[in-house]
Structure 1
Amino acid sequence: MSTIGVNLEWSSLGQKALNGDRLTVEEGLAVLEANDDELLPLMQAAFNVRKHYYGKKVKLNMIINAKSGLCPEDCGYCSQSIVSTAPVSKYTMLDKETLLAGAREALARSAGTYCIVAAGKGPTERELDQVVEAVKEIRDTMALKICACLGILKDGQAERLAEAGVHRYNHNLNTSKANYPSITSTHTYDQRVETVEKVKTYGMSPCSGVIIGMGETNEEIVEMAYALRELDADSIPINFLNAIPGTPLEKAGRTPAMKALKVLALFRFICPSKEIRVAGGREVNLRTLQPLSLYAANSLFVGDYLTTAGQDVSADHQIIEDLGFEIELNAL
């Protein structure tokens, strides 16, 4: 049961966020534990914060799976990991022409940001060469911003990506520090934090988010929001686990739609000025309540994810139009 239960109090919580004041742990838990009957005033309070910073604009992003199914990591949520038996495509880093074709498709979908994502612990120099070559041509020929997500970067690699023109680098924290060992053993939570800090030093916009539904407690969800606030991530993708058969987390249940919306509101309150992106798993977890997510989030992915299908891009465009919102092009 929520400890905050009337509309005025949810409104004051939103005002606290606008004032730059940090929510207490108790207030964060109250958001996640709010009675479902309080959802609409809670989302209105989150929308007041979202509207202050972003109006009614929605940023669209598109992913290309640039390297698939050859990952030595043992992340329990991922169908591409070494411990997964899920039937996924396996291929090495895509060539420049394929990456360029993906960029053109992003533009066709009205996406302002094109996300080049590759499974693996980190890129080899040859793989980095291929990405850098494609990024330079995209920057020269298309009005499109580029996000790279290539894993843990070695010395010199962040600098090369920044020099090529990568605007944003994504490396998700995924879960809480305490829960991290139950998700993967082949790298650490601290290594992920270090990578995000590294890309910031070279002027790339830091992008880092979470996956909800991997056994974390409500207290840990609040902790994750605080961690991303402290990390000062400019963009925060909120994924909801899409449990894939053949992965260690295949039996994990879906996050109820109402809970997913409360999570989005929480992150808006704790990271009020940041791009909050409703990301992977939104279709199977939020289901028919997807439109409400944009009252807290101001960004989403269009099209497919890495190995799972998204909904048709026309449906996303329709949601935005029906809400009276508008697509924002070419913005981080």
Structure 2
Amino acid sequence: MTAQLTETWGDIAARALEGRKPSRDEALQILRADDDAVPALVAACYEVRREYFGRQVQLYYLKNAKSGLCPEDCGYCSQAIDSSADISKYTMLNEAKLMEGARAAAASNARTYCIVASGRGPSNREVDHVANTVTKIKDELGLHVCCCLGILKPEQALKLKAAGVDRINHNLNTSRRFTPEIVTTHSYDDRLDTLRIAREAGMELCSGMIVGMGESDEDLVDVAFELRELDVTSIPINFLIPIDGATIESSTELTPRDCLRALCLFRLTNPRSELRIAGGREVHLRSLQAMSLYVANSMFVSDYLTTPGQAAQEDFKIIDDLGFELVYPEGKPGDASEATGRQACETSCRA
């Protein structure tokens, strides 16, 4: 993997700090950098990360509010209609279960609680249910709330905003070119439309991709540039977890250095956006998870939709060992309550 770089990584990072994105050729050079160049590339990205996010790390807690039973055929997903994966299947969780998840999020020191539901899009009844629950979460816990409910109608987005939902997650997942290779039941433009609807309703945008589905380097660059044009607040980068029974059962052979290069691409193209190491980080980044936080500034501290994450205590250890600082939920100081929160998480954050 060799690339001829006409400028230093520091030069590209300096331009990012001035608000200028890399050229397309430079973006491809990031993805094709020699392994020997990765430490210098990460160091350059850290200057950008530090400028906009300091040494802070934001934690996210994900709750799979509705599992399986999905009419979509996304090839990467264990919940897809044509998946034979052995997963739990259930309709929308009741208020008590969603509140239980929110309390576990607070106990794990997560600032943001993510409510995720399978399906093409929510019914009006499901939106009402989520909205009512979010109001109670805000009143009791003050958590930042992100919802990922699929394709939204304008009136549904307005109802979620009125209830206190801060952010909508709707991942592009891959490029416009590669989208038909992984899903046929919705289009790339369907995803862009939902992001537009969420923004028009006044909510922040969270959108990212899945790396390792067989896409090209050019596809990764397309997504990075698209997200910059969309000016999304938060970018989760997932690394495909092979799941028996899903249409795409094995991922592109990713090394930890490949994952770091992908994160560096998104940091240098989207310097002001929160960058999150998401699903698959434990599988593909492995021992370099700590190194990735010199590029990214947030992470999930929970299981994912149908696959387990690592123990929360391991995540806390990574952050502590780096000397980084957690961003706590509003009203929760990072002093004596931290130990209590971590102890509570040992028993509750897998709820």
The TM-score with structure 1 as length reference comes to 0.97
State the match for 1:121 in structure 2.
Answer: 120
Runs of 4+ in 1 over 3 A off after TM superposition: none
- Structure 2: how far apart are the matches of 1:40 and 1:253? 23
Q: CA deviation at 1:140?
A: 1.0
Q: Which runs of 5+ in 1 are unaligned?
A: none
Distance 1:42 1:312 in 2: 29
| 1:311 counterpart residue number | 310
* Deviation for aligned residue 1:247: 0.7
- AA at the equivalent of 1:35: D
**What is the CA deviation profile of residues 236-266 of structure 1, one whole-angstrom value per residue up to 9, with x for unaligned ones?**
0000100111011103344211010011011
Per the alignment, residue 50 of structure 1 pairs with 49
- CA root-mean-square deviation: 1.0
Q: Which secondary structure does the structure 2 equivalent of 1:107 belong to?
A: helix
Trace 1:136-151 onto structure 2 (pairs within 5 A): 136-151=135-150
Unpaired stretches in structure 2, ≥5 consecutive residues: 331-351
1:4 paired residue number: 5
Say if 2:214 and 2:252, in contact at 8 Å, map to a contact too.
Answer: no
CA contact (8 A) 2:153 2:197 kept: no
Check conservation: 1:256, 1:285, Cα contact below 8 A: yes
Q: Secondary structure at the match of 2:154?
A: coil
Output the CA distance in 1 between the equivalents of 2:21 and 2:56: 25
SS of residue paired to 1:156: helix
| C-alpha separation in 1, matches of 2:196 and 2:252 | 33
Give secondary structure in 1 for the equivalent of 2:279: coil
Q: How many angstroms does 1:330 deviate by?
A: 3.1
* Cα offsets for 1:104-139 (capped at 9, x unmatched): 000000000000000000001121121111101011
Compute the displacement of 1:283 (Å): 0.5
SS of the residue aligned with 2:320? helix
In the alignment, is the contact (CA less than 8 A) between 1:254 and 1:285 conserved in 2? no
Letter in 2 for 1:294: L
- Percent sequence identity over aligned pairs: 50
1:234 counterpart = 2:249? no
* Contact 1:60–1:302, Cα closer than 8 Å, also in 2: yes
2: CA distance between counterparts of 1:17 and 1:257? 24
Match of 1:187, SS?
Answer: coil
Greater CA drift, 296-305 or 243-252 = 243-252
Residues 213 and 255, structure 1, Cα contact 8 Å, conserved in 2: yes
Distance 1:142 1:252 in 2: 38
How far 1:141 sits from its partner (Å)?
1.1
* Distance of 2:46 and 2:52 partners within structure 1: 10
**Aligned twin of 1:164:** 163
Q: Is 1:242–1:254's contact at 8 Å kept on the other side of the alignment?
A: no
Partner of 1:277 in structure 2? 276
Does the Cα contact within 8 Å between 1:243 and 1:253 map onto a contact in 2? no
Q: Name the CA distance, whole Å, in 1 between partners of 2:212 and 2:251.
A: 7
TM-score by length of 2: 0.92
Checking the alignment, whether the CA contact within 8 Å between 1:241 and 1:255 is kept in structure 2 is: no
- Report what 2:326 is aligned to: 327
